[in-house]
Amino acid sequence: MNMNINISPATLNDWNQVNQLQLQSQLDLNQTSNPTYRSEMEQKGFLLGEYSFQEYQSHIKDIFLLAKIEQKLVGYIRISHQMEFRDNQQKKWVNDQEKIEYYHPPHAEIGAIVISTKFSGQGIATMLLSKAIEKLQPEHSSLYSIIAIAPILNKPSLQFHQKNNFKKVSSGSPSQLFGFLNYQSELLKLRLVT
């Protein structure tokens, strides 16, 4: 499946393609009251929030890998070293140790992972994930990721993470985020050391 896929670090020249893919995958808040749209996005997966060129410029200094087929962008993964599962809402941790570990550097989490719908289900996200992990080891012993579970469950994302052995370590209570009144997410963790 992966014969023609090239994985390379993102550069400034890739912005237009990255932006296009981001916009295609971004949840349209104006349509979320439409049941058909909601169930479509639940099946396809989605990204939340807008993404600017300024953010891109700073993110490409970090781990930001692109998957291309004949120069055409088909997906990307971005690793963040910020603790994006912010402590500004009630959270239920599976145990205290997990909470301590999450807020303890060095820290790495998936800032975004997205594959063009035309190329989904072909293992490309898994390939990007394993390349990112290669770059994180041995310094990092864990990789975190946040999944939106309400008001729209990101099913492909949840299954993708479960398939790749991420385990739930915390869940947030409903809060006002990304334009929703009742946004809810879960924090998942993948242990990297063997």
Q: Which is nearer to ligand COA, 163 or 191 (CB)?
A: 163
Specify the stretch interacting with ligand COA by CB under 6 A; choose among 2-10, 80-88, 157-165, 174-182: 157-165
Contact 50, 41 (CB under 8 A): no
Closest contact distance (angstroms) between CB of 25 and ligand COA is 5
Residue 192's CB is within 10 A of a number of other CB atoms, namely 15
CA 76, CA 15: separation in Å to the nearest integer?
A: 12
Tokens representing residue 43 in the block: 């099946």
Touching ligand COA, residues 4-43 (CB under 6 A): 25
Q: Which of 10, 14, 18, 45 binds ligand COA (CB under 6 A)?
A: 45
**160 near ligand COA, rule: CB under 6 A:** yes
Sign of the C-alpha dihedral, residues 42, 108, 52, 187?
positive
Q: Whose CB is nearest to ligand COA? A: 45
Binder to ligand COA among 92, 163, 167, 191 (CB under 6 A)?
A: 163
How far apart are alpha carbons 159 and 188 in whole angstroms?
Answer: 12
DSSP structure class, residue 173: P
Q: How far is the CB of 155 from ligand COA (least distance, A)?
A: 5
We find the least distance from the C-beta atom of residue 100 to ligand COA, in angstroms, to be 25
Nearer to ligand COA, 1 or 100 (CB): 1
Tell me the pairing of strands 91-93 and 142-150: unpaired
Q: With the CA atoms of 149, 136, 80 and 32 taken in that order, what torsion angle do they form, in degrees rounded to the nearest 10?
A: -30
Please give the residue ranges that form the binding site for ligand COA (CB under 6 A). 25, 45-47, 112-115, 120-126, 154-157, 159-160, 163
